[in-house]
Amino acid sequence: MLRQIYRSLIPVAIRRRVDYWRVPAATRRKIDRLLDVGELHKEAQRDLFRNIGFFAKVNRPISGAYLEFGCFGAHTMRFAWNAFGHFGWDFYAFDSFEGLPEITAIDKQEIWQKGKLAMGEREFRKLVTSAGMPNDRLRTIKGFYSDSLTPRLEASILPRKAAVIYIDCDLYESAVNVLKWIRPFLQQGTILAFDDWDAFLADPDKGERRAWREFLEANPTLRFEEFYYRAMVKALVFQGAHPQ
């Protein structure tokens, strides 16, 4: 009876605030973190790396390297180290370390500006190594992808294949360059992840979605299975190629 009176007299907004303050402080902090957009995205990233770690453990030995394209903040590289460091993989960080390139017409969006998301190479390495990664396990490749992703660089890494490829490019133009270059590094079981899959309002003709569609059209024999999808983050597992 008292509950019914309470619900009939007290506005919904006030009842929600009361309910919020009735839960333990630790639970309130967790709710606040999950409601924060940045934290929601980071939690999806952490969850993805935990899932990949489990996948790699169950299917061991998966040998290779972790390739990350777009390294601002060093968050995902540190998540990767925590999840995969014990597998003995090497870690490659590909970034201009000068922020975003010139934004072309296809990638025009209010939030993207030339030079945004800039982090210096030295600062990046310091953040990653302070999290426990030895210097000799981390290789940084500085430059915009149209210049840095060369056949010579490819040859310096091969025949080592990729265990995980993490694409955090934001832009269509950048993702196109990355996808063209990583083809030789795919092996059965490679996890290919996109950090901004639903940018540009999930428009299939924009951003990473368009770059991925065009990559599949150019490589029709390649087979991928969906592995993970949450809060803008999508990952697939490479299963090999159909016979010609």
* CATH classification of the domain holding 138: 3.40.50.150
Task: Compute the Cα dihedral for 200, 203, 209, 213 and give only its sign.
Answer: negative
Full strand arrangement of the beta sheet holding 222-230: 138-142, 90-95, 65-69, 162-167, 191-194, 233-241, 222-230
Could you tell me if 151 and 212 lie in one domain?
Answer: yes
d(CA 219, CA 172): 18
- The number of domains in the chain is 2
Q: Provide the pLDDT for residue 34.
A: 44
Minimal CA–CA distance to 93: which of 113, 73, 114, 115? 73
* Tens digits of pLDDT across the chain (244 residues): 555 654 565 654 555 555 445 546 665 455 455 445 467 788 889 999 999 999 999 998 888 999 999 999 999 999 999 999 999 999 999 999 999 888 888 888 877 788 788 899 999 999 999 999 999 999 999 999 999 999 999 999 999 999 999 999 889 999 999 999 999 999 999 999 999 999 999 999 999 999 999 999 999 999 999 999 998 899 999 999 876 6
d(CA 76, CA 158): 23
Q: Which range marks the domain in which residue 144 is found?
A: 36-241
Could you tell me if 76 and 101 lie in one domain?
Answer: yes
Could you tell me if 110 and 138 lie in one domain?
Answer: yes
d(CA 196, CA 210): 12
